[in-house]
A and B are shown apart, each in its own frame.
Chain A
Amino acid sequence: MSFELPALPYAMDALEPHISKETLEYHYGKHHQTYVTNLNNLVAGTDNENKSLEEIVRSSSGGLFNNAAQVWNHTFYWNCLAPNAGGEPTGALADAINAKFGSFAAFKEEFTKTAIGTFGSGWAWLVKTAAGELELRSTSNAGTPLTEDGVTPLLTCDVWEHAYYVDTRNARPKYVENFWALVNWDFVAANFAA
C-alpha cells in the first residue's frame, strides 16, 4: 500500500490574501507531494510498507523520518488553516490558554516569538502534554512533537522559507501575522478535546 497526498481541505486560492494561491501551488502541489513521493520510494519493498504514517514517524530516523514526518506535519498544517477563520478560540481550549498563558494575547505573543525565533527551517507548535497542560515547541527541519510520548500536537505554523517566501520574502514576522487570520480553531479545539 502506498501513501497518498491527502486532498487540500480548501481551494488553492482560499487562503488569499494571507497566503497566496501561488504559495499553495508550490507548497502543497510540489513540496508536500515530493515528501509523499520520496516516502513511497523509501518504504517500497520494506517492512515499513504496511505501517501507518504515524508508526513510521515514531520509529524511523534519517531520510525516512524526514520525509514521513514532513508528510504528517504538512497534512496537520493544512488542517490548522481555513478560509474565513482566525479570531480566538472559545470554550475549554480558551480556558486552557488563559490558564497557561494568562490571556489569548499573551499566548499569541509567545507562539509568535517561537515561530520567529526558530532559526533555519522548522515548525512552531502548540501541544498538550500527558498532564493535560499546554506548551509551546519549536522543532527543526522535519522535527515533530508526534515523537514525544504522551504529547498531542494541537496547532502548528510552518516556518520553512518555502511557506512564505513567495508572499513575504524575508519578512517571516509578516507571514506569522497573516497566519493568525487563518487559524482553524475548530480543528485545534478538536485536537485539544481528543
Chain B
Amino acid sequence: MSHTLPSLPYAYDALEPHLDARTMEIHHSKHHQTYVNGLNTALSDYPDLQALPVEKLLEDMNAIPEAIRGAIRNHGGGHANHSLFWLVMSPEGGGEPTGALGDAITATFGSFAQLKEKFNAAATTRFGSGWAWLAVDKQGQLVVTSTANQDSVISDGLTPILGLDVWEHAYYLHYQNRRPDYIQAFWNVINWNEVSQRFAATR
C-alpha cells in the first residue's frame, strides 16, 4: 500500500482572503505531494511498514530502521502534518470552540484569548521552519508547543488536534516576511468542529 495525497475538502480559493489560492495550490499539490513521494520512496524496501498508517510510524521513531529514520521523520512527518493542517481549516471556520473543548481550553489556559496568545507566541518564535501545535498529552491535558521542520508531536507522545504550518512556503507568496500577519489570519479559518472531534477522540 502506498501513501497518497489526500484531496482538499474545499477549493484552493476557498480560504481567501486569509490564505490565497496560489499558495494553497502550490502548498498542497507540490509541497505535500513531495512529502508523500519521499515517504513512499523511503518505504519502498520495507513492505511491513508500508501497511501502517503514517501516524503509527511516527509514534515510535526508534522502531524505524535507522536507514530510513531521517526520511520518515521528514517526509512521514510532512505527510501527517499537512494532512491534519488541511482538515483543521475551513471556509466556514473561525470563531471560538464551544462544548468540552471550550471548557478544557478555559480550564487549562484561563481563557480562549490566553490560548490564542500562547499559540501565537509558539508560532511566532519558532525560528526557521516548523509548526505550532495545540495537542493533548497522555494525561489528557491540552498543551501548546512547537516543533522544528516536519517533526511530529506524535513522536513526543502527544496527539495533535490543531496545527499551524510556519514554514515560509505556507505564507511567503501572500505575506512575505510578515509571519505574524499570517498567524493572525489563520484564526479566521480554524475549523473548530474538526478540532473538537479530534479532542473528543482522545477522551
Interface of A toward B, CB cutoff 8 Å: 26, 30-31, 34, 63, 66, 119-122, 140-142, 160-162, 165-166, 169-170
Contact = CB atoms under 8 A, between A and B. Distances in A.
Interface in B71-87: 74
Contacts of B176: 26, 30, 162, 166
Contacts of B167: 120, 161
Complex A-B, nearest 8 residue pairs according to Cβ-Cβ distance, in ascending order: A141-B128, A161-B168, A121-B128, A120-B149, A120-B129, A165-B172, A30-B177, A170-B30
B26 A66 contact: no
A162 B167 CA distance: 10
B113 interface: no
Interface of B: 26, 30-31, 34, 74, 127-130, 148-150, 167-169, 172-173, 176-177
Contacts of A142: 127-128
A115 to B, nearest CB: 15
A161 B26 CA distance: 13
8 contacts: A34-B177, A66-B127, A119-B149, A120-B128, A165-B172, A166-B176, A169-B26, A169-B173
A26 B127 contact: no
B31 A160 contact: no
A119 B148 CA distance: 10
